[in-house]
Each structure stands twice: as C-alpha cells, then as structure tokens.
Amino acid sequence: MITQRSGSLKSGFGRYTSVVNGKLLLSRWRLTWPWAGIMINRIHSPDTERDPHSHTRWFVTVCLRGWYTERVFTDPDNLTAWYWRIHQPWLPYFMPVKYAHTITHTHGKLTTLMITGRWRRPIQFWTKDGPVASED
C-alpha cells in the first residue's frame, strides 16, 4: 500500500488530498486551528484497500450529497470489535478520536461537512499487530 498526502493536518487553510495505490480517495478543503476545524470533503471512493484508521480529532460529520457505509472499530487491540454504520444525507454522526473506521461503500458524488474538536494525536492505522502512527 502506497499512501500519498498533500497538505498539513494540524492547522491552517487549504486543500488536502489522499491517494492510495494511485487512486484518489479524498479531496478536502479545510480551515483548522489546534482547537477546532471545519472541513468540506469529497470522498471519491471507499478505503477498503488499507487498514482501519483513526483521525487526529473527534468530529461530527453530515453528508451534504450522497451517502456511505463504514465499519467503526472500537478497540485497537481487537479488530473484531466493530459495527456497521450507514451515513444518511443530512443526519449528523459523531466519531470519537479513540475509534477508527474504514469506508466500505460510497454512493453518488459524496460530499460531507465535518466539524472537529481540537487536535489530539497523529492519525493511526490499526493493524493486526497494533496501532501504527501515520507519518503525517
């Protein structure tokens, strides 16, 4: 798996993209501070080709266009501890910073709004050998 990212994750304004194995997964416009953030995401495809990942902050997300399904993982030491979640348009969903997820299906031109809390830690990928911090 080769992951390419552009843009800082901690604070600032700008565009961020995530490409895995040459495939664009995410385009994000963000306005972030160490204590909060607002992001508009265009999710281009599921991220099933990589391990579940956590985020740098807790967040609330709302689908503005399209919808998606995900697996939410609750324990980094037990990857069988997860549940399905369907993100329906215009309904808010909360993701704690201590959980990880994988987007399994996208429908339509998926666009989401994210409101985030303060920066807590680097992104982690939850592997069978335990959490691994991202290089970002």
The domain that holds 29 is classified in CATH as 2.60.120.10
Tell me if 14 is assigned to some domain: no
Tell me if 17 is assigned to some domain: no
* Model pLDDT for residues 86-123, shown as the tens digit of each residue: 999 999 999 999 999 999 999 999 999 999 999 999 99
Tell me if 109 is assigned to some domain: yes
Tell me if 127 is assigned to some domain: yes
H or E element, residue 17: strand 12-20
Give the number of domains in the chain.
1
Residue type, 132: V
The gap between the terminal CA atoms of the chain, to the nearest Å, is: 16
Tell me if 105 is assigned to some domain: yes
Q: Is 91 exposed, middle or buried (0-12, 13-18, 19+ CB in 10 A)?
A: exposed
Tell me if 13 is assigned to some domain: no
Tell me if 102 is assigned to some domain: yes
Domain residues for the domain of 66 are 3-7+25-133
What is the largest distance, in Å, between two alpha-carbon atoms of the chain?
A: 37
Tell me if 19 is assigned to some domain: no
The token pair that represents 117 in the structure block: 């809390």
* Distance separating alpha carbons of residues 50 and 35, to the nearest angstrom: 28
* Model pLDDT for residues 13-63, shown as the tens digit of each residue: 899 898 888 889 999 999 998 899 999 999 999 998 889 999 999 999 999
* Distance separating alpha carbons of residues 103 and 85, to the nearest angstrom: 10
**pLDDT band of 8, cuts 50, 70, 90:** low
